[in-house]
């Protein structure tokens, strides 16, 4: 049975698209970048900052939240949006990807994945059905199917086995989602590594099952950018035009620009907050490493034209000092500056697509990054 469509395409420019995704907790303007609040918190920022920066939707992680404080507890406390007081739309990742990177003694079987918690060593089984149940308990607006993501480079046999398993888990996830509130969504995840034919098989298989939206996973896991973009081009034509497309775990501002040009509508990545904590600023002049000694005497702000006060008001010399001294404020300011830059980039892309000038915008933006600021 086909699922209701909560996505409205408002405009297209080449393969780039702009639209609106309606959730029970608000509307998401696409292309959208979802800041990552893994444990129900945005590292270094208050929710009001995230909102002020222009984010419509944030991401939370099933894996972390089921271990601590527990999905049943969050359910009792009214769901993730209320518990955190973010209040807006939330997408939750299903856990498989985080199990692979964080958990100990993990084993992937047909039934699901078993592992030991990285917090207290408890043995846990995560099946496609349990991943859906946990995401329902969390009250997620957009749930993701359980999948298996293979790091690249990998053997074709391993990539194919994980892709086929992910397809079978997609089917089970879809069945487990039946009876969920009508406003909630479930996305399938395309796998298939760096092999075009497997990407196509995965995309077609998922489309046959039918989801509210389609993610492209298994990218930004060790392959060159050109391979990632080629895999988007392989998968996208097989996905339904009228459904949202989400590129998982990506990426740099340049990755976002190029992926939007290829028809992607949604992204998430820890990069703006994580790199911010390590002294890196994303700006329209490219990335600036504030640890670098050349900033020590520089009285200029990062970008005097930014709409984000911290990017406009503080000197590079002060930001450099905060980063070098390991002050928490440095991490907070740079996380905010980076999230605000990512959101301003998304807003600019949405306007350029709506105005039919995306190609010019893309070239101008790339030139700005390449020119640098000094």
Report, in Å, the least distance between residue 257 CB and ligand GUN. Answer: 19
Write out the H or E segment, with its range, that includes residue 74.
helix 71-76
- Render the burial of 133-155: b for 16+ CB within 10 Å, e for the rest: bbbbbbbbbbbbbbbbbbebebe
Q: Which residue ranges make up the site for ligand GUN (CB under 6 A)?
A: 93-94, 96-97, 144, 147, 149, 189, 217-218, 248-249
Q: How far is the CB of 142 from ligand GUN (least distance, A)?
A: 12
Nearer of residues 215 and 322 to ligand GUN, judged by Cβ = 215
Nearer to ligand GUN, 189 or 353 (CB): 189
Report the interhelical angle of 156-177 vs 196-209 (nearest 10°). 10
Query: Cα-flanking dihedrals φ and ψ of residue 138, to 5°?
Result: -65, -25
With respect to ligand GUN, which residue has the nearer C-beta, 249 or 301?
249
Q: How far is the CB of 191 from ligand GUN (least distance, A)?
A: 7
Residue 188 structure tokens:
């399938």
CB of 249 to ligand GUN, least distance (A): 3
Of 269 and 340, CB closest to ligand GUN: 269
Tally of CA atoms within 13 A in the half-sphere of 6 that contains its CB: 22
Strands 104-108 and 213-216: unpaired
Q: Considering beta carbons, is residue 33 or 97 the nearer one to ligand GUN? A: 97
Nearest residue to 189 via CA among 172, 209, 171, 203? 203
d(CA 21, CA 66): 26
Measured CA angle at 27 (ends 93, 180), to 5 deg: 50
Q: Among the options 93, 147, 194, 255, which is catalytic?
A: 93
Query: C-beta of 66: minimal distance to ligand GUN in Å?
Result: 14
Known catalytic membership, residue 93: yes
Which residues, at least 6 apart from 136, have a Cβ–Cβ distance to it below 8 Å? 143, 180, 184
CB 115 within 8 A of CB 179: no
Please report how close the Cβ of residue 250 comes to ligand GUN at its closest, in angstroms: 8
CA distance 125 to 50: 33
Residues 202, 214: Cα–Cα separation, whole Å: 11
56, 194, 268, 303: the active-site residue? 268
Whether 158 is catalytic is no
Among residues 44, 47, 39, the alpha carbon closest in space to that of 92 is found at 39
Closer residue to ligand GUN, CB minimum distance, 262 or 316: 262
- Catalytic (active-site) positions: 93, 268
């Amino acid at each position: 049975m086909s699922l209701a469509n909560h996505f409205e395409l408002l405009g297209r420019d080449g393969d780039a698209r702009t639209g609106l995704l309606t959730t029970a907790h608000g509307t998401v303007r696409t292309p959208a970048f979802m800041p990552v609040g893994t444990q129900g918190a945005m590292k270094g920022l208050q929710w009001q900052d995230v909102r002020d920066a222009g984010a419509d939707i944030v991401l939370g992680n099933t894996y972390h939240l089921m271990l601590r404080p527990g999905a049943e507890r969050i359910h009792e406390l009214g769901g993730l949006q209320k518990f955190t007081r973010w209040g807006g739309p939330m997408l939750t990742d299903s856990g498989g990807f985080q199990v692979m990177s964080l958990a100990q003694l993990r084993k992937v079987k047909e039934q699901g994945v078993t592992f030991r918690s990285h917090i207290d060593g408890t043995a846990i089984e995560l099946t496609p059905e349990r991943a859906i149940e946990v995401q329902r308990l969390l009250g997620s607006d957009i749930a993701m199917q359980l999948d298996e993501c293979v790091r690249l480079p990998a053997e074709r046999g391993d990539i194919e086995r994980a892709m086929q398993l992910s397809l079978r888990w997609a089917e089970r996830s879809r069945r487990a989602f039946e009876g969920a509130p009508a406003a909630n969504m479930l996305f399938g995840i395309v796998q298939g590594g760096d092999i075009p034919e497997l990407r196509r098989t995965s995309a077609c298989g998922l489309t046959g099952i039918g989801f509210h939206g389609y993610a492209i996973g298994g990218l930004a896991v060790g392959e060159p950018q050109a391979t990632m973009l080629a895999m988007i081009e392989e998968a996208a034509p097989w996905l339904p035009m009228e459904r949202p497309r989400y590129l998982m775990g990506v990426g740099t501002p340049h990755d976002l620009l190029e992926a939007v040009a290829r028809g992607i509508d949604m992204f998430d990545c820890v990069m703006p907050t994580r790199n911010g904590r390590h002294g890196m600023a994303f700006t329209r002049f490219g990335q600036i490493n504030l640890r670098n000694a050349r900033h020590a005497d520089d009285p200029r702000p990062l970008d005097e034209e930014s709409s984000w006060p911290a990017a406009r008001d503080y000197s590079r010399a002060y930001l450099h000092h905060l980063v070098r001294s390991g002050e928490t404020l440095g991490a907070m300011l740079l996380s905010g500056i980076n999230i605000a830059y990512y959101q301003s980039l998304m807003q600019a892309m949405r306007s350029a697509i709506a105005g039919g000038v995306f190609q010019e915008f893309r070239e101008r933006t790339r030139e700005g990054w390449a020119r640098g600021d000094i």
